[in-house]
A and B are shown apart, each in its own frame.
Chain A
Amino acid sequence: MSATRVWVRHNLGERLLRYTLWLAMVASLVWAIRSIEIIPEFLADAPEQMADLLIRMWPPDLAHYYPSVHAAMIETLHIASLGTLLGVALALPVALLAARNICRNAALNTLAQLILVSSRSVNSLVWALIFVAVFGPGPAAGTFAIAFRSVGFVGKLLAEAVEESTPGPLEALEASGAPWGHRMLKGVWPQVQPAFWGVALFRWDINVRESAVLGLVGAGGIGVVLDDAINFFQWQRVATILLAILVVVLIAEVLVTRVRARLL
């Protein structure tokens, strides 16, 4: 009796928009591929080169691991851990300033966001270059590079966790006459605690990987040993170092994943 009604998911405007977006994606992909300039000669003998490198690396000079690589590895872990600790400490106040439900001042929110974005937009290696200029080469520069790179990451995720906390408990504490510090401690902290430990551990995991390369610019850790070995063409030692980094990163990954699973 009634005419068949037709149901369409998108109207004409939405469909046009979707086609345009697809077109834009394909166009940018083609543009990107054209701009990376693959040199055919290099590509042609790449398998040969790789095979050559691997043959030089084999067998890894495992005897070289102790003591020099080992000491550098421990130094790397120290840089990662201390850097994470310092970064988290610096990130805490910035995160509170960035969280709109805690800090009601829009100018301070923006300032905090700016700090977080600048920290993240500078790569660890660039931070390391800056701090090598400040402290001279060595693990101090590496630690500060890791810390300053971590501030943005930890601060952003922490600020988001704070903003997602439910306002009810905080309101209840405010109604009972609790001062600001008490409200943060008993109203906000219990709510963000799981996220906080998760983020801190995740960042430590990332920092273990990042601090392995900081030595390339002289900021201490296993990267220094790696750089030396490469410069002296000691490929078997290079293999040992790469293996050591792989093992440590794997252990860190497993450890952090397990602890985080228990936290959340």
Chain B
Amino acid sequence: MTPILRIQGLEKSYTPGKPVLRGINLEIAAEGITAVIGPSGTGKSTLLRCINRLVEPSAGAIWMGDVNLAGLRGRSLRAARRRIGMVFQEYNLVERLSVMENVLTGRLGYVPLWRAWLRKYPPADIERAFTLLDAVGLPDQTTRRADALSGGQRQRVGIARALMQSPALLLADEPTSSLDPKTAVEVMELMARLTGEVGVPVIVNMHNVELARRFANRIIGMTGGEVVFDGPPEALEDHHLHQIYGGEGWL
């Protein structure tokens, strides 16, 4: 199976001489969940944001099919972004818009401006939004405002919005870090199930090693801007965690 993403020699430094990513080389398969774990400030988030170019890579290439995402600009960058969904730690919903409209913003890359302005979204999009809201378990919340929802509900809307793009790849940046343990598991289960059903590969950043073990079929351990572990969850042992996070007392 051809990989969905081939990352070659990816580097990023926000200030010259202080690299956050030091030459990342990865291939991401076109299915399954890949969890990226590592201590805070180690470049997990930067790695994810380089893929959809919310952060500009300093060097290297990110191949999605035969397109190098790192070299795109303007219209072609937007076209590539439409195929990459993203779920955020702080949900990043538009607070004052309804749940329905938040989900529909996932189509803004396709819908003409006048339609978005007059809220005349194509009927097929609205139908799909209803289906997704059913799927994430919020069928009765369509007309509520996003700021009236609980954290778990907001992240469900976030997932529905990302899937609304019909993405070829889903990026999730600490999607459960702001949620309580029970809700975190529920949200991960939901994300795993919905992406599994449509065969969308997921790259997810996590703090929680147990959650990563439970849901991912591949774990990438990062420390100091480099990949130090790459393998299935079964292969991740204490000495790897020691290498990734340092120290031992917490294990």
Q: Please list the residues of chain A having a beta carbon within 8 angstroms of any beta carbon in chain B.
A: 166, 168-169, 171-179, 181-183, 185-187, 190-191, 193-194
Contact = CB atoms under 8 A, between A and B. Distances in A.
Contacts of B251: none
Which 8 A-B residue pairings sit nearest by Cβ, starting from the closest? A177-B109, A177-B81, A178-B108, A177-B82, A168-B92, A172-B92, A177-B78, A175-B86
Nearest to B84: A175
Nearest to B74: A179
A166 B165 CA distance: 23
B93 interface: yes
A249 to B, nearest CB: 32
B52 interface: yes
Interface of B: 52, 54, 77-86, 88, 90-97, 101, 105-106, 108-109, 111, 113, 116-117, 158, 161-162, 165, 171
Q: Majority SS of interface residues in chain A?
A: helix
13 contacts: A169-B95, A172-B105, A172-B161, A176-B105, A176-B108, A176-B161, A177-B78, A177-B79, A177-B108, A177-B109, A182-B109, A185-B116, A186-B97
A172 B85 CA distance: 9
A193 B105 contact: no
B66 to A, nearest CB: 19
Contacts of A194: 96
B94 A190 contact: yes
A176 B85 contact: yes
Given A175-B86, A176-B109, A169 B92 contact: yes
A88 to B, nearest CB: 18
Nearest to A190: B96
Contacts of A179: 78, 108-109, 113
Contact of A186 (B91, B105, B158): B105
A11 B249 CA distance: 44
Given A172-B161, A178-B105, A182-B108, A187 B94 contact: yes
Contact of A182 (B81, B96, B116, B162): B116
Contacts, number: 84
Given A168-B88, A168-B90, A169-B92, A178 B109 contact: yes
Contacts of A185: 113, 116-117
Contacts of B165: 176-177
A97 B94 CA distance: 22
Contacts of B83: 177
Contacts of B86: 172, 175-176
B81 A176 contact: yes
Contacts of B81: 174-177
A174 B54 contact: yes
Contacts of A182: 108-109, 111, 113, 116
A186 B104 CA distance: 10
Contacts of A177: 77-83, 108-109, 165
Contacts of B94: 169, 186-187, 190-191
B108 A171 contact: no
Given A169-B93, A186-B97, A176 B106 contact: yes
Nearest to B86: A175
A70 to B, nearest CB: 40
Nearest to B106: A176
Contacts of A174: 54, 81
